[in-house]
Amino acid sequence: MPVPDAEKLAAVAEASGTTVSDYVAALVKAHLSTVDLDHILSQEALPIAKAS
């Protein structure tokens, strides 16, 4: 992570009254709650006609 971004992250976490680690963990948790793991892990058949 670029230093300016790390410094901004630290400032935002501090202003939020939390640690950087806890702040990032909350962001990751929020993001993961929007991810459909079944969709990511499943593979759809390609639309290729089967050879007979």
Q: For the segment 12-36, what is each residue's pLDDT rounded down to a tens digit?
A: 999 999 999 999 999 999 999 999 8
Choose among 29, 23, 28: nearest CA to 11: 23
Q: Supply the pTM of this predicted model.
A: 0.69
| Residue 34 DSSP class | T
Contacts (Cβ under 8 Å, ≥6 apart) of 26: 18
CA 43 – CA 39 distance, rounded (Å): 8
Q: For residue 39, what pLDDT is reported?
A: 83
